[in-house]
């Protein structure tokens, strides 16, 4: 990834409008900033959230609060807690998220 043509700036995430994305169960609130071609998000999953799709987009994801369960299409499972992260390339390994307790994440993709 090259980060080009982005001047220094700060983001007050509480002032970025949230968009709701329903899952198979629960919902996700995304606060999104786009720095072409890089998308940066603060994501909040409701307790009991389960994604409604397998994702093949690459991400770098940091768990800030709660507990995030990530399942890979091949059956492997991982649990992120505050201060842990994962990274995956585009089209590398399809994955989907769930959380029993809710989670807040910082995502770059």
Q: For 19-42, how does the pLDDT look when each residue is reduced to its tens digit (9 = 90+)?
A: 999 999 999 999 999 998 899 999
- Per domain, the residue ranges of the chain are 19-108
Per-residue pLDDT, 97 = 97
List all residues 6 or more positions away from 91 whose beta carbon is below 8 Å from its beta carbon.
56, 58
Whether the predicted pLDDT of 1 surpasses 80: no
pLDDT (tens digit per residue) in 45-61: 999 999 999 999 999 99
Whether the predicted pLDDT of 12 surpasses 70: yes
* Neighbouring-strand partners of residue 49: 99
**CATH 2.60.120.10 is the classification of domain 19-108:** yes
Average pLDDT of the chain to the nearest whole number: 96
Whether the predicted pLDDT of 62 surpasses 90: yes
């Amino acid at each position: 990834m090259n980060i080009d043509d982005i001047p220094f700036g700060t983001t007050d995430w509480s002032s970025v409008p949230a968009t709701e994305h329903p899952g198979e169960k629960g919902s996700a609130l995304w606060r999104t900033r786009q720095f072409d071609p890089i998308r940066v998000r603060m994501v909040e999953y409701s307790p009991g959230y389960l994604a409604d799709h397998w994702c093949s987009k690459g991400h770098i994801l940091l768990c800030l609060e709660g507990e995030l369960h990530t399942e890979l299409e091949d059956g492997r499972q991982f649990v992120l807690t505050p201060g842990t992260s994962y990274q995956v390339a585009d089209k590398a390994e399809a994955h989907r998220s769930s959380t029993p307790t809710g989670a807040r994440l910082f995502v770059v993709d």
